[in-house]
Amino acid sequence: MRRATLTENDLRQCLRLAGGGTLGLFVCKLMGWDNGSFFCVYPMLLLGLTPRIDAHVIRQFLLQAVLVSLEVLVIYGLFGDRPQLVVPLVFLAYLWRFRLMAQGPLFMFGALGSVFLSIQLHFASYPDTHLYDLVTSNLMAAGLTVLIAWLMFFLFPDAEPRPPRQPQPKDVPSQRHEALLGASVATLSFMLFQSLDLRDSLSAQVASILVLFPMHWNGIRFAGRIRALGTLLGCAIGLLLQLLLYSHYDVLPLVTLVYWTAALCCARIHVLEQAQGIGFGALTTLAIVFGQYLTPQHDVVYSIAYRLSSVCVAVFVTLVAVFVLHRLLNRFPSLRHASHA
């Protein structure tokens, strides 16, 4: 469902999203930290996936950041030279998280962990990556994101309380179906990106995980189209921002201003959609491109063009894999999804 106008709560959520994402970009660029996508994407995820924040959400966010760091250290610190062992470990890590998402109450815990794990595995798989530096950046970004989120809710609190979201009950076969489907496709995505050595395709790998969040074929096939449109919008806005900046992309205050304006527009679309739709896809695309690839010596024109093509291909391949696995799992009564006719 969509709304035509913003309520007071919606407006404040837009301000939180734009302000939090921009503050993450500003801090990481000002300090010159590596892995800038962590500091830009994490605030978008936390503030975009939940319109309300409390101690329970913060605990889930921080605990997942710590768990993912430990998992990456174990997987690549001990078995990094044995891909035949890495793949089943990655599958088990995803399976546990998608199982939590399928059950409902800890959906945020599993969803955040799936994205965190995808990003960490993407970088950690390359031999020139320093694992401890990677883990340190992840934990710093998680801590900074919590501080940013609390600041945004302090500056722009909701005008009126929001009713809590009630998870939809699912039968056990549907839960098994969704957990196996999500974990299998996420693991296939990991294997594909490593086999083809797609080092600069972080946006595409994250997209292949985000489209799985509806957890079933009927939702995922819609999410894939929406994700592609969101990426297209994000890339178009990114190119427009680069044209506005021209050769002044090394001027941080100017970059911050135009980035906040673009993030606010995308946040408005996201809030009106009331779902992880085109606006959310555009927000994460902007966060990855500007956070990871924009430097005082390098603009984002090539990165945006590459992101657009790679994300569209990744989403298409993901949809094909989901369709095949969905049909296969539905052949077994103990794994049949309730939406299967």
Greater pLDDT, 341 or 201: 201
User: 250-259: per-residue pLDDT in tens?
Assistant: 778 888 899 9
Q: Which two tokens stand for residue 166?
A: 């009630």
Phi-psi region of 180 (alpha: psi -120 to 50; beta: other; left: phi over 0): alpha
User: 251-284: per-residue pLDDT in tens?
Assistant: 788 888 999 999 999 988 888 887 667 888 888 8
Cβ proximity of 308 and 145 under 8 Å: no
- Look at the chain and count its residues: 341
Neighbours of 328 (CB within 10 A): 13
State how far the Cα of 140 lies from the Cα of 41, in Å rounded to an integer: 13
Predicted confidence band of residue 1 (pLDDT cuts 50, 70, 90)? very low
- Kindly give, in sequence order, each residue whose CB lies less than 8 Å from that of residue 92, ignoring residues fewer than 6 positions away: none
232 forms beta bridges with: none
CB burial string 8-32: b at 16+ within 10 A, e below: ebbbbbbbbbbbbbbbbbbbbbeee
User: 46-99: per-residue pLDDT in tens?
Assistant: 888 888 888 888 888 899 889 988 988 888 877 767 778 888 898 999 999 999
The yes-or-no verdict on residue 294 having pLDDT over 70 is no
Query: Distances from the Cα of 184 to the Cαs of 177, 190, 209, 269, in angstroms?
Result: 11, 10, 11, 31
State how far the Cα of 128 lies from the Cα of 135, in Å rounded to an integer: 14
